[in-house]
Amino acid sequence: MTTDRATIRVVGTAGHVDHGKSTLLTALTGMDPDRLREERARGMTIDLGFAWVTLPGGGDIGFVDVPGHQDFIRNMLAGIGSIDAVLLVIAADEGVMPQTREHLAILGLLGIDRGVIALTKRDLVDDEWAALAVSDVRAALRGTALADAPLVAVSATARRGLDELLRALESVLGAAPARRDTGRPRLPVDRSFTMAGFGTVVTGTLLDGSLAVGDEVAVVPGDIRGRVRGLQTHRRSLDVARPGSRVAANLSGIEKEAVSRGMVLARPGSLETTTLIAVRLALLAGASGPLEHDEEIKVHVGAAETMARVAFLEGPAISPGETAWAQLRLAKAVAVAVGDRIVIRRPSPSETLGGGAIADLAAARLRRRAETVAALERRTAPSAASRLLASLDVPRTPAEAADRSGLAPSERDAAIAEVVADGRAVPLADALVSRDAFEAFATHVERICAQAHRRTPLRAGASREEARSALGLPPKRFTALVARLVADKRLAERGSALALPSHRPQLSNDQERQWLSARAALAKEPLQPPSSAQLESEHGLDRELVAALAERGDVLRVGSEAVFLPEAVARFALAVVDELVSSGSITVARARDLSGSSRKHVLPLLQFLDDRGLTRRVGDDRVLVLTPDSARERIATFTHQGEDRP
Ligand SMILES: Nc1nc2c(ncn2[C@@H]2O[C@H](COP(=O)(O)OP(=O)(O)OP(=O)(O)O)[C@@H](O)[C@H]2O)c(=O)[nH]1
Ligand SMILES: [Mg+2]
């Protein structure tokens, strides 16, 4: 298997038009990044270019060359997003110019905080001018992440300073952190084309995971499925491409027309697409004016761009230099992940306005409320545990939560252990939920039970299934929630119903009177009780009232029809047990004679004892299953049934 073992780093150029970016890359790599005929004719970069060089110490640098002209900033943004370091080019003769500043601002917005400054065209100026240019550059860098970046004076035409420049790049890249590998590769597509005999090829800087030949992939948005037929980095064929390298992927099953710049190649189902992103938007201090609520702007993220409207979640507008939470409502779906940086621009007159990191991919429009902002603040809080927690406002599996909060697998397990241990999160079967969200579920179930008790005081409680669907939880998670609430004595399970532990079915005064008269009838000949039909017609004891009385422990239902006083069943059971102790077995006829009941009742009564685990049927006889003492203990529970329940 061919995997690129040598480190590959990606460096992007930046800087004002004509300052010598492409010429410098040609001098460094021997490859002209300007590949379009029009570019060569005009002597100007229009779209992204690519070149690479192998460093003396081993390892490759892949260069992404960007256009400096302000008309092509969108192309610059498509290529600059996922680089390890920048090569900021400033011509010694012109010094800092508008797109030097604009590119610098964009680098800041994208969080690109390492790089090397190349002071180009050194051959065109004398020492004094060069010294002035250097101090001009340092002044422009003040306050940016590149303030202390190494600066190398070079001349591409005279080939001076090139080795020093490569060494500076090598040392800056050596200090750069390893690329994130979350096992979910994504390749933001910056170019797509067809190659005769190969079909569709897409290129980009691979992020977040490795891609292998044969992998099933999807192009998102759109979810067009295909397979990786071949992979190359710097024209070398590979079986596996590593995150952080420039990759050309040859795809089978995906037409060239189906994929274009801005789309992302990823494993099927691994990346969300959305038109709503929440972000703490920073407006550049140098922006020409305030940014208003509902203003139309252009959003650049990864290699994608789309028009969008700004919905501020706090005030009506922000002034240059300010930040505020906003939701961007995109005209077109993008495939992105939480944590991705965005840049916003005004289309006309063209201007880079600001940007931020994606805090949330919402499914719905966010309202302008303090809680919304607080939730977003939490979601972007610094510690892994608090970021994880912020994603647990609804139950999520560890993988979903880590994904949403942008956590690497290595941080994930520790963060989960931490929040579960200190009680800030509660496990619900395969998922976790924050303590607050758990409380919300708990009080919701309690409210459902309380409501059921109020509306149908005779019933045992609320239907379990109805409660589950009201909470919108899948069965396993709901069962885990109930189990926990039962353990905490906040809820009681009564058959298939859920109740508050304090709930006892409540009879009205009339019903209590009906019960008293029925009770007298039942007590007359306890083992020859009146039928259910009689109880209903003569005493008003309908099915529901019987169920409530059974729930309370006032009656026992035996078989499908009969209703007995618990004492009667206990007396019958004790007589059967005594007989079994003395003679080992008992027949139906013997049980009838002993108890003075009738065959009609004795059959279900004996069955009832079988069901309660006291006796077992052997042929026509019953035998005892328990020891006499345990049998008598169990019989005692028949008469205390109501109170025994939790
Ligand atoms: N004398 C001199 N001329 C240079 C040097 N580097 C570049 N040039 C010239 O400057 C002009 C612009 O160079 P490019 O490399 O196209 O500049 P660029 O920054 O890539 O320009 P865009 O891609 O359009 O932003 C060309 O005519 C180059 O020959 C240098 O070191 N010395
Ligand atoms: Mg160029």
What are the DSSP calls for 537-586, one per residue? Answer: HHH---HHHHHHHHHHTS-EEETTTEEE-HHHHHHHHHHHHHHHHHHS-B
In this prediction, the residues of the chain whose per-residue pLDDT falls under 50 are 642-646
What are the helix (H) ranges across 422-495?
435-455, 464-471, 475-487
pLDDT at 58: 81
CA of 24 to the centre of ligand 1 (A): 8
Residue nearest to atom 32 of ligand 1 (CA): 121
Residue nearest to atom 13 of ligand 1 (CA): 20
What single letter denotes the amino acid at residue 412?
R
CA distance 612 to 16: 88
Find out whether the beta carbon of 43 lies less than 6 Å from any atom of ligand 1: yes
Residue nearest to atom 9 of ligand 1 (CA): 20
Atom of ligand 1 nearest to the CA of 44: 24
Residue nearest to atom 23 of ligand 1 (CA): 45
398: which residues sit within 8 A by CB, 6+ positions away? Answer: 412, 413, 416, 432
CA of 44 to the centre of ligand 1 (A): 9
Long-range contacts of 580-589 (CB under 8 A, 24+ apart): 580/615, 580/622, 580/623, 580/624, 581/624, 581/628, 584/623, 585/618, 585/621, 585/622, 585/623, 586/621, 586/622, 587/620, 587/621, 587/622, 588/620
Atom of ligand 1 nearest to the CA of 19: 19
Atom of ligand 1 nearest to the CA of 23: 15
Find out whether the beta carbon of 121 lies less than 6 Å from any atom of ligand 1: yes
CA of 45 to the centre of ligand 2 (A): 4
Residue nearest to atom 21 of ligand 1 (CA): 18
pLDDT at 5: 55
pLDDT at 4: 54
332: which residues sit within 8 A by CB, 6+ positions away? Answer: 221, 275, 306, 307
CA of 65 to the centre of ligand 2 (A): 7
Look up the pTM and report it. Answer: 0.66
* Ligand number nearest to the C-alpha of 156: 1
- CA dist 561 to 535, 550, 627, Å? 11, 13, 30
* Ligand number nearest to the C-alpha of 42: 1
Q: How far is CA 360 from the centre of its chain?
A: 10
* Ligand number nearest to the C-alpha of 25: 1
Taking phi first (over 0 means left), then psi (-120 to 50 degrees means alpha), and beta for anything else, what does residue 111 get? left
What are the tokens at 457?
């005081």
Q: What is the pLDDT of residues 542-586, one digit of tens each?
A: 988 898 888 778 999 998 889 999 999 999 999 999 999 999 999
Find out whether the beta carbon of 75 lies less than 6 Å from any atom of ligand 1: no
Atom of ligand 1 nearest to the CA of 43: 16
Mutational test site, ligand 1, from 16, 17, 18, 165, max ligand atoms within 8 Å of CB: 18
Mutational test site, ligand 1, from 17, 19, 23, 155, max ligand atoms within 8 Å of CB: 23
SS3 label, residue 510: helix
What are the helix (H) ranges across 294-351?
none
Closest Cα partner for 93 from 63, 56, 115, 123? 123
Could you give the percent of the chain with pLDDT greater than 70? Answer: 98
Closest Cα partner for 205 from 190, 224, 226? 190
